[in-house]
Amino acid sequence: MYTGFQHLHSGLAYLVLLILVGVIGYALMNFINKKPFTEKSRKISLVGLIAAHIQLLIGLVLYVISPMGISNFSGEAMGDAMSRLYMLEHPLTMIIGIVLITIGYSKAKSGDDDAARYKKILIFYGLGLFLILLRIPWSAWPGM
């Protein structure tokens, strides 16, 4: 079960990153070209939000069942960089990143000014993606 969730979480991460980059690219192009924020724009940003939340849920399950997650809590784990990454830094940073994406979606959904709505997507999704990229355990990724 653990191995299956680990592979699912790692494989889905590639897709989530591509989706988030796509959402940010879409928002940037529409912001630059002064396009209206349409229902299509909202749905595209919603796809990024949903993908990030699904990845978070899988990650939280993995955190509970993994020997490197919640069961690794000890004073000694904080002294080991890899244990600290998996036990604290990675999950906490991912949660903060996805909270930022959620805030961005909520703020963009309710605005009136189209440029401001795209700007909110750019800022919050961009910051969320930055945090996500900052704490991905790159050494554990296949092909990296």
**Residue extents of the structural domains in the chain:** 2-140
Phi first, then psi: what are they for 74, rounded to 5°? -165, 165
71 pLDDT more than 70: no
pLDDT at 142: 63
Q: Which of 2, 1, 12 minimizes the C-alpha distance to 141?
A: 12
What pTM, to 2 d.p., does this model score?
0.91
103 pLDDT more than 70: yes
44 pLDDT more than 70: yes
pLDDT at 140: 73
Per-residue pLDDT reduced to its tens digit, 118-134: 999 999 999 999 999 99
pLDDT at 72: 67
Cβ neighbours around 70 below 10 Å, total: 13
pLDDT at 124: 99
pLDDT at 122: 98
SS3 call for 70: helix
Across the chain, mean pLDDT equals 91
SS3 call for 1: coil
